[in-house]
Amino acid sequence: MAFPLLTSASVTSRRRLAFLATLALGLALVLPSCEKLQEGVVNVIEFPEHEPRLAVTMFVSPGDTVVYATVYQSAGVTDTAGSAPLKHAAVALMQGSTVLAQGDSTNWADPDPWNSWYSGPLMKINLDEPLELQPGAIALVVDASPTFEPLVVTEEVPEEPVFDFLFEAYADSVDEGWGYVYYQHLVTLDLENRPGVRDDYMISIEVKEVFEGAQWSNMANPAFPDPRMEYNDACDCLLATDSGADNVSLANLVLESYAGSSDYPIEGEMRIRVRRPTDALANHLRSVDAYYGALDNPFSEPASIQGNIPDGFGIFGVTTEVVVPL
């Protein structure tokens, strides 16, 4: 008598069983993943609970008649409410014991429709006199208690920029043919490179056209690629720098300024405006451009907004400026 397991029928049956077992195992492995595979989602990343931080922004320059500021608290990326304004907060701009500007819950306003740096609520502090900044330290004091501890951000008022320039009206115009001329002025600018410190400059050549309600707007661009200077969207100006090196000349920066065309010439007042930002503000402006540039370019590394708010976000930016009519 043959052993039952060795008969041909039982071998076939065992093979079938093995096949079915393998099939069942395969299906057991594959089927639970099908829903996941359809969506392509591996996992939802859990974030630790976000601890809100103070976010403050304020830019000041001598001659300002209005000072804008925002005081918000940050929000976690998964928080649907988003970053919220702290309308109970008070801010003060101080030099020594002198209060240059201050605002509180009464100063919150919607942004000016034609001067909209920002779309959300902001503090708008109207000054009785144009702002005067003395050399030395300047402080932004923010009291958003009890939500946050009071905060003081201190910067040094930058020295006034020193520069020389040559303005050549329409010197960079281009005749496109058919009588069509593309007008451009040429400006050659010499800036100061102070030894031992980093020099950054915000440069603009501005035009205020003749129509009613016209605003000053920048028309300057580098005349050719120059590693010392680049256009910065964040300030709508040219940012020039010596990168902290004493042996980098900041002379002979060549700018061109659009002046319309033979069909639509731009007419109005012109001025050259040179501002000297604090180091933190210059870093901030570059980081803002990098941030938005990265959003538009899938090949870019992500960028973060640089600031100077301790344990928080944002920027207290100070500039000095010299404006010369052209």
Task: Please identify which residue in 93, 234, 250, 272 interacts with other proteins, judged by CB under 8 A.
Answer: 234
Does 24 engage in binding with other proteins (CB under 8 A)? no
Does 41 engage in binding with other proteins (CB under 8 A)? yes
CB 272, CB 323: distance < 8 Å = yes
Task: Please identify which residue in 64, 206, 289, 321 interacts with other proteins, judged by CB under 8 A.
Answer: 289
- Which segment (42-50, 93-101, 165-173, 186-194) binds other proteins by CB under 8 A? 42-50
What's the min distance (Å) between Cβ of 86 and other proteins?
11
Does 300 engage in binding with other proteins (CB under 8 A)? yes
Locate 223 and state its tokens.
């005349």
Does 247 engage in binding with other proteins (CB under 8 A)? no
What's the min distance (Å) between Cβ of 301 and other proteins?
5
Query: Across the beta sheet with 136-143, what order do the strands follow?
Result: 98-103, 90-95, 136-143, 151-157
Task: Please identify which residue in 182, 216, 258, 292 interacts with other proteins, judged by CB under 8 A.
Answer: 292
Does 68 engage in binding with other proteins (CB under 8 A)? yes
Got the DSSP string for 101-142?
Answer: EEE-GGGEEPPPTTS-S-SS-EEEEE-SS-----SEEEEEEE
- Which segment (132-140, 244-252, 259-267, 284-292) binds other proteins by CB under 8 A? 284-292
Residue 222 CA to chain centroid, in angstroms?
A: 20
- Which segment (5-13, 153-161, 193-201, 310-318) binds other proteins by CB under 8 A? 310-318
Per-residue exposure over 213-235, b if at least 16 CB sit within 10 Å of its own CB, e if not = eeeeebbbebbeeeebbeebebb
Four-point Cα dihedral 21, 22, 24, 25, nearest 10? 110
Got the DSSP string for 130-189?
Answer: -----SEEEEEEEE-TTTS--EEEEEEEPPPP-EEEEEETTTT-EEEETTEEEEEEEEEE
* Those residues with Cβ within 8 angstroms of residue 324's Cβ, 6 or more apart along the chain or in another chain: 165, 271, 272
Locate 282 and state its tokens.
């210059």
Does 258 engage in binding with other proteins (CB under 8 A)? no
Instruction: Pick the closer one to other proteins by CB: 233 or 267.
Output: 233
CB 177, CB 238: distance < 8 Å = no
Residue 170 CA to chain centroid, in angstroms?
A: 33
Does 167 engage in binding with other proteins (CB under 8 A)? no
Does 8 engage in binding with other proteins (CB under 8 A)? no
Handedness of CA 151, 157, 158, 161 (dihedral sign): positive
Does 82 engage in binding with other proteins (CB under 8 A)? yes
- Which segment (4-12, 73-81, 204-212, 257-265) binds other proteins by CB under 8 A? 73-81
- Which segment (132-140, 159-167, 227-235, 262-270) binds other proteins by CB under 8 A? 227-235
Does 43 engage in binding with other proteins (CB under 8 A)? yes
Does 261 engage in binding with other proteins (CB under 8 A)? no
User: How far apart are the C-alpha atoms of 254 and 190, rounded to whole Å?
Assistant: 9
Interacting residues with other proteins (CB under 8 A): 29-30, 33, 36-37, 40-45, 47, 50, 53, 55-59, 68-70, 72-80, 82-83, 85, 116-120, 122, 176-178, 225, 227, 232-236, 285, 287-294, 297, 299-305, 313-315
